[in-house]
Structure 1
Amino acid sequence: MPIRVAAEPTFRAVLAGTTRAQIGMWVCSGSALVAEICAGSGLDWLLIDTEHSPNGLESTLSQLQAVHGYPIVPLVRAPIGDRIIVKQLLDLGVQNLLIPMVDTAEQARDMVAAVRYPPLGVRGVGSALARASRWNRIDDYLARADDTISLFAQIETTDAVANVAEIAGVDGIDGLFIGPSDLAASMGLLGQQDHPDVVASVEQCIRTVATLGKPVGVNAFAPGTAARYLAAGAHFVLVGADVAILARASEKLAATFIRPSSGPADDSVPRLSY
């Protein structure tokens, strides 16, 4: 007899079931080992990125398998809002999907159609072949697939900000996530995601979406900025990334233990002798 399994709770359900903001981090290394380390951190959620990271279908699958069973929710960002890519990610078993660069309600509706089976959408039917249904070991997967998937749209441009209420109002969009870096670039402020105009735009989006009753999240690595967005009402926030943590920590090690060539000797650092 095959073992019957149940789908994991969606990020939509997690957000609906808590009054505490959910704190997470990016996983951009493409490493299942690193993803598993981060999954045991005590954070609430991970964003496995396929837009700006060396991730394909195989590495995304490996990371989903690595974090499965840990008390953390994986959200996967697609590289682009494309129906075929969405179908492939869903069939891998991605339950929580983030679509980047959603500028209009029309784009949002197209992505809702991409995650739903006919007659409500256009998702291709391959459940017998797919990890999503655990190869038909999830009872009535086709009939209940919508209950196993949550869909989030990313707001990253001035056009998206102008249309944020309409995007949030699309049935089937479970929440919005704001990307201040690309938003800053769209505003002519490249690399200045902490600029007052960018911050004000993000905060306005948070208030607008929250008023409409949808969860809204934001990327904010600087602790002060993250605290400000949480105070503004953000429901979920990314506060770091695996690759950034490794880069800064390794730089700190180098600064601590390697003497600058032009500086004085630091006798406090022990030297190894062979």
Structure 2
Amino acid sequence: MPVRLELPPTFADRLARAQRPLVGSWVCSGSPVAAEIAAGSGMDWLLIDGEHSPIGLETTASLLRAAAAYPATAVVRVPSVDTVLIKQVLDAGAQNIMVSMVDTPELAEQAAAAMFCPPRGGRGIGSALARSARWNGVPDYLHRAHELVRLTVQIESATAVEHAADIAAVEGVDAVFVGPSDRAASMGLIGQQTHPDLLEAVAHVYREVHPTGTKICVNAFDSTQAQQYVDDGFDYLAVTSDVTLMAQGTRALADQWSTQLREG
């Protein structure tokens, strides 16, 4: 009897069923151990960062395998609308892709096309060779691939904010992720993620995207601000990262012990 494997639900499936906002953590270290700990921590989702972290294709595949046995859903971020890279990350087994710096509806359309096989899109055909279809273990993968992958696009610039509603309405865009860091920088407010002008820009994106029915996420490492975004109605949030937790934890312990030993 042929092997018949099924892939887990996509992140869009989880969001559609969720009764509350979903909370996630970045995985930036490239460590499969960190990814596994985060995946089993109770977090709803993980963001494997291929933009600002030293994470390539082989590492991405390792992190996806490390997280696969746990409840959290993995999303892989790619740094731009690069159709070749998106194809490779999909073939590595990512079902959920986030694309950075999507400033216009045209770029959103290009990203969506890269997710799907012809005739809907331009994704290359290689499932027999790839983890995406578990080396042809997933029945009829090529005809079902559009059901098994999902796309999130990032709105991070003034141009993207201006086009937020049109970007969110592009067919194949399942969710929008608001990036306050780059948006703050583009406004001359670098590092000021709770500045009132930035918060209004984020709120503007929400007001534009929410009526389209597209899910919307925001990055918020400040817990007070994260709670405000929950209260405002965002569908999901990224609230920390593996490297942030390690840096904060080790620095706090170092400060504690250096103080105790000085005073002792």
Task: Specify the TM-score bucket, using the shorter chain as the normaliser.
Answer: over 0.9
Secondary structure, in 3 states, of the residue corresponding to 2:61? helix
Q: Conserved in 1, the CA contact under 8 Å of 2:168 and 2:209?
A: yes
Where does residue 248 of structure 2 map in the other structure?
Answer: 248
More helix by share: 2
Secondary structure, in 3 states, of the residue corresponding to 2:263? coil
Measure the CA separation in 1 of the matches of 2:70 and 2:207.
32
Q: Conserved in 2, the CA contact under 8 Å of 1:81 and 1:99?
A: yes
| Deviation (angstroms), 1:100 | 0.2
Where does residue 68 of structure 1 map in the other structure?
Answer: 68
Task: Give the aligned residue type for 2:97.
Answer: L
| Deviation (angstroms), 1:203 | 1.3
Q: Conserved in 2, the CA contact under 8 Å of 1:207 and 1:233?
A: no
Task: Give the aligned residue type for 1:34.
Answer: A
What is the TM-score when the length of structure 1 is the normalising length?
A: 0.94
| Deviation (angstroms), 1:18 | 1.4
What is the TM-score when the length of structure 2 is the normalising length?
A: 0.98
Measure the CA separation in 2 of the matches of 1:156 and 1:207.
16
| Deviation (angstroms), 1:123 | 0.5
Q: Aligned pair 1:114/2:114, yes or no?
A: yes
Task: Give the aligned residue type for 2:115.
Answer: V
Task: Give the aligned residue type for 2:206.
Answer: I
Measure the CA separation in 1 of the matches of 2:181 and 2:262.
41
- Structure label with greater radius of gyration: 1
Measure the CA separation in 1 of the matches of 2:18 and 2:192.
32
Secondary structure, in 3 states, of the residue corresponding to 2:139? coil
Q: Conserved in 1, the CA contact under 8 Å of 2:222 and 2:239?
A: yes
Where does residue 103 of structure 2 map in the other structure?
Answer: 103
Where does residue 218 of structure 1 map in the other structure?
Answer: 218
Where does residue 270 of structure 1 map in the other structure?
Answer: none
Aligned length in residues? 264
Q: Which runs of 4+ in 1 moved over 3 A?
A: none
| Deviation (angstroms), 1:206 | 1.4
| Deviation (angstroms), 1:34 | 0.6
Measure the CA separation in 1 of the matches of 2:214 and 2:19.
13
Task: Give the aligned residue type for 1:101.
Answer: M
| Deviation (angstroms), 1:217 | 0.1
Give the 5 Å matches for 1:203-214. Answer: 203-214=203-214
| Deviation (angstroms), 1:191 | 1.3
Q: Which moved more, 1:84-93 or 1:203-212?
A: 203-212
| Deviation (angstroms), 1:258 | 1.2
Measure the CA separation in 2 of the matches of 1:208 and 1:161.
9
Measure the CA separation in 2 of the matches of 1:37 and 1:79.
25
Give CA deviations for 1:177-200 in whole Å, capped at 9, x if unaligned. Answer: 000000001111111121100011
| Deviation (angstroms), 1:265 | 3.9
Secondary structure, in 3 states, of the residue corresponding to 1:24? strand
Task: Give the aligned residue type for 2:106.
Answer: E
Task: Give the aligned residue type for 2:59.
Answer: S
Where does residue 163 of structure 1 map in the other structure?
Answer: 163
Give CA deviations for 1:4-23 in whole Å, capped at 9, x if unaligned. Answer: 11011000110011121000
Identical columns (%): 48
Measure the CA separation in 2 of the matches of 1:155 and 1:211.
16
CA RMSD of aligned residues (A): 1.2
Where does residue 90 of structure 1 map in the other structure?
Answer: 90
